[in-house]
Amino acid sequence: MKIDAIVLREIQMPLAHPFETSFGLTTMRRIMLVELQAEGTTAWGECVAGEHPYFSDEMIDTAWIIAKTELAPRLVGVEIENGGKVPDLLKQVRGHRMAKASLENAVWELESVLRKVPLAQLLGGVREKIPCGVSIGIQPSPEKLIEKIETELAAGYQRIKLKCKPGWDVEIFEMVRKRWPEILLSCDANSAYRVKDSDHIASWDRFNLLMIEQPLWYDDFYFHSKLQARLKTRICLDESIRNRRDALAAIDMGSCGIINIKVGRVGGFSEAIAVHNVAAERGIPVWCGGMLETGIGRAQNIALSSLENFRLPGDVSASKRYWAEDIIEPAVEVSSTGEITVPTTPGRGFEVKTDLIQKLTVREERITK
């Protein structure tokens, strides 16, 4: 495969519902899309870097400059055998995993189109349907949270994840468990706690949570292993896991019992598959995280979630939870049993609405040889 041109685009889209985490509130998304023009066809990638370097040290503007000046020039005009060869072409650049993933994933998509196989199959997927959960942001009031949960459960979602932080935790879990003693429930702190909060976090065992996601520092394994030793509830690591070696270290140290895989956070499909495999070998289940993606990233998350060891409901949910109008068609829909059907047509399995993308574009750059 030879890429003729790579087009970077920044689109801006308001979220249908503002999303609040322990690190801040998002109302408007600025998203870098990557379009590959190659072999008479096109393929797309989405960069999950945020508007600010709060979730990770990347943000859309760093991803843009790195993609433009360092990554895209290493891919344009060279013969690329398949998506799995991309990490090697980009390895001289350290870090910038979200920027790398947007390009690598587009190459996998291109390969799936040219070979006329579904992207899920190319990645090694085996599931026809994937189980879906939702991530519910911190709400203006407990009452609003209850309403949200009611809506999502009625829609069929199989697992409710509550964003939490000091001051929005035990009282909230208490209230939710009183109302729904049996549902699959988890929480995600996005690193809002410290070692001194260990007793407090240990008291959450009584809520029978499926997992506690990333309670401590975003770059830590050691203190998570000390905390995990005190808990019955499994810790799930998100931010801390950057690659396969991190997954191995975290599992061997007992830092977690579950791993959230975000393909952008680990630098692309190749590394995501490697994390998936090493977790599978050690009996650690994984699930697919979300980063408020448009349909392009969402479709790629669905494909990834079809791999065998994605055993728990992911944060991959319906387009309408995020966007008034998604940039793919059909929009991603979730069945009344809380599942998404994995497409069986070649490529990503959803059409990209190029006219809509053009309307949403605020900057554009074309990289050729």
Q: Interface with ligand OSB by CB under 6 A: which residues? A: 55, 135, 188, 190, 238, 289-292, 315, 317
**Distances from the Cα of 8 to the Cαs of 46, 59, 347, 350, in angstroms?**
10, 15, 20, 20
238 binds Mg ion (CB under 5 A): yes
- At 188 the three-state DSSP class reads strand
Residues 200 and 170: their CA atoms lie apart, in Å, by 9
Cβ-based nearer residue to ligand OSB, 112 or 319: 319
Near Mg ion in 296-335, by CB under 5 A: none
**Cβ closer to ligand OSB: 267 or 289?**
289
Phi, psi of 154 (to 5 degrees): -65, -30
CA distance linking residue 322 with residue 199, whole number of Å: 36
The residue with its CB nearest to ligand OSB is 290
Residues 64-103 as x/- pattern, contact with Mg ion by CB under 5 A: ----------------------------------------
Contacting Mg ion within 198-227 (CB under 5 A): 213
Nearer to ligand OSB (CB atom), residue 86 or residue 328: 328
The answer to whether 304 and 269 are in contact (CB under 8 A) is yes
Tell me the C-alpha distance between 27 and 15, whole Å.
Answer: 6
- Please identify which of the residues 163, 165, 178, 232 carries the catalytic annotation: 163
Which residues from 117-146 bind Mg ion, rule CB under 5 A? none
Nearer to Mg ion, 31 or 292 (CB): 292
User: Do the strands 286-288 and 339-341 form a parallel or antiparallel pair, or are they unpaired?
Assistant: unpaired
**2 labelled catalytic:** no
Q: Mark 119-133 as b/e (b = at least 16 C-beta within 10 Å).
A: bbbbbebebeebbbb
46 or 315: whose CB is closer to ligand OSB? 315
Residue 193 near which of Mg ion, ligand OSB, none (CB within 5-8 Å, type-dependent): none
CB of 41 to ligand OSB, least distance (A): 28
User: Applying CB under 5 A, does 339 fall inside the site for Mg ion?
Assistant: no
Q: How far is the CB of 73 from ligand OSB (least distance, A)?
A: 29
Spot the catalytic one: 262, 320, 353, 369.
262
- The enclosing H or E element of 109 equals helix 97-114
Helix (H) or strand (E) holding 161: strand 159-163
What is the distance between the alpha carbons of residues 19 and 289, in angstroms, rounded to a whole number? 15
The one of ligand OSB, Mg ion, none whose footprint includes residue 290, by CB under 5 to 8 A per kind, is: ligand OSB
Quote the tokens at residue 359: 């309307």
Rounded distance between C-alpha atoms, residue 262 and residue 337, angstroms: 24
Which of these ranges, 116-124, 161-169, 235-243, 322-330, lies near Mg ion under the rule CB under 5 A? 235-243
Least CB distance to ligand OSB at residue 200 (A):
20
Q: Which residue reads 């991803």 in tokens? A: 63
Residue 188 binding Mg ion, by CB under 5 A: yes
Q: CB-wise, 223 or 325, nearer to Mg ion? A: 223
Our answer to whether residue 262 is catalytic in this structure is yes
CB 301 within 8 A of CB 330: no
Q: Which residue has the tokens 């990209």?
A: 352
Partner in contact with 108, chosen from Mg ion, ligand OSB, none, beta carbon below 5 to 8 Å by kind: none
Residues tagged active-site: 163, 262
Residues at the contact surface with Mg ion, assessed by CB under 5 A: 188, 213, 238
